[in-house]
Amino acid sequence: MLGSQPQAVSGEIFFIVGGDQATLATITPYLAIMGTRHMYVGPSGTGNRVKLVHNGLGAVTAVAVAEALAVVVQAGVDPYVFYEVVRNGGGMAYGTYFERRVKRMLDGDFTPTFMAELMHKDVKLALNLARSAGVPTPLLEETKRSYDEAVDSGWAKEDFSAVTHVVEKRIGRRLSR
């Protein structure tokens, strides 16, 4: 499934379904009770692989956004102005993560909807999948190191956007006001 606590509460979970496609018709009514969408992705195990790669990409995005905010802050730009430019500018930097997390990060709110320790686990699993597929993933490797540091520094139970604290530690200042 994709989504976290807010989507689960609102019934907007997206299910990634793998397995016997003939069974999909049988389980679709149950999926509809818990979520708004589902997608068949292939035979057994494919859903898990799709989920891991998806979460790995989300983790890379979290680190990249934290680094971008650090550059903005260190360069003397109001991060809330940057937030509004990205949200409203129509450029390629905008995405769901930006919409759902950046304002909270700037406000210092790391209340978990998906904990950093869970993202850390998924990043490690995504890396294992990439290695077994023979694909070099240097961005994911660096992302894992950032999540290693976040978990080791005591931010495991915060939202996965708490990887921002690692970037804050690296620059010696907070990004939030």
Taking alpha carbons only, the member of 35, 48, 28 closest to residue 125 is: 48
pLDDT tens-place string over residues 6-29: 888 888 889 999 999 999 999 999
Residue 161: the pLDDT is 97
pLDDT over 90 (residue 165): yes
Q: What is the DSSP string of 32-96?
A: HHHEEEEEEEESTTHHHHHHHHHHHHHHHHHHHHHHHHHHHHHTT--HHHHHHHHHHH--TT--H
Q: What is the CATH number of domain 45-171?
A: 1.10.1040.10
pTM of the full predicted structure?
Answer: 0.91
Give CA–CA dist 12/33, Å, rounded.
10
Taking the domains of the chain in order of start, what are their residue ranges? 1-44, 45-171
pLDDT tens-place string over residues 78-91: 999 999 999 998 78
SS3 16: strand
Residue 62: the pLDDT is 97
Mean confidence (pLDDT) of the chain = 94
Residue 10: the pLDDT is 86
SS3 155: coil
pLDDT over 80 (residue 177): no
Give CA–CA dist 46/51, Å, rounded.
9
